[in-house]
Chains A and B, each alone.
Chain A
Amino acid sequence: MGQHLQSITLKVRTFAILREIVGKGQMTLELPRQNEKTTVADLRRRILELYPEIPARKIPFGIAVNAKIVDDKSIINDFDEIALLPPISGG
Chain B
Amino acid sequence: MFSISQHAIDVDKLLTTVKDDAAGATVIFLGTVRDHNDDCAVSGIHYETYVRMAEEAMAKIEADAIKIWNLKRFAAVHRIGDLKVGEVSVAVAVSSEHRAEAFDAGRYAIDRIKTEVPIWKKEVTNDKGPMWAEGTPLEVG
Q: Which positions in A face B, CB cutoff 8 Å?
A: 13, 15-17, 60, 62, 64, 67-71, 83, 85-91
Contact = CB atoms under 8 A, between A and B. Distances in A.
A90 B76 CA distance: 13
A15 B50 contact: yes
8 contacts: A15-B118, A60-B137, A87-B135, A88-B114, A89-B119, A90-B113, A90-B118, A90-B121
List 7 A-B pairs, minimum CB-CB distance, nearest first. A90-B119, A87-B135, A89-B135, A16-B120, A89-B133, A91-B114, A62-B138
B53 A67 contact: yes
B48 A91 contact: no
A69 B132 CA distance: 21
A13 B117 CA distance: 16
Contact of A64 (B53, B113, B114, B120): B53
B95 to A, nearest CB: 21
A87 B135 CA distance: 5
Contacts of B69: none
Interface in B66-98: 78, 89-90
Nearest to B56: A67
Q: Which of A70, A86, A90, A91 has the most CB of B within 10 A?
A: A90
B137 A17 contact: no
A89 B52 contact: no
B114 A13 contact: no
Interface in B1-56: 31, 47-50, 52-53, 56
Contact of B132 (A67, A71, A89): A89
A62 to B, nearest CB: 4
B91 to A, nearest CB: 11
A16 B48 CA distance: 7
A67 B138 contact: no
A15 B48 contact: yes
Contact of A91 (B52, B89, B137, B138): B89
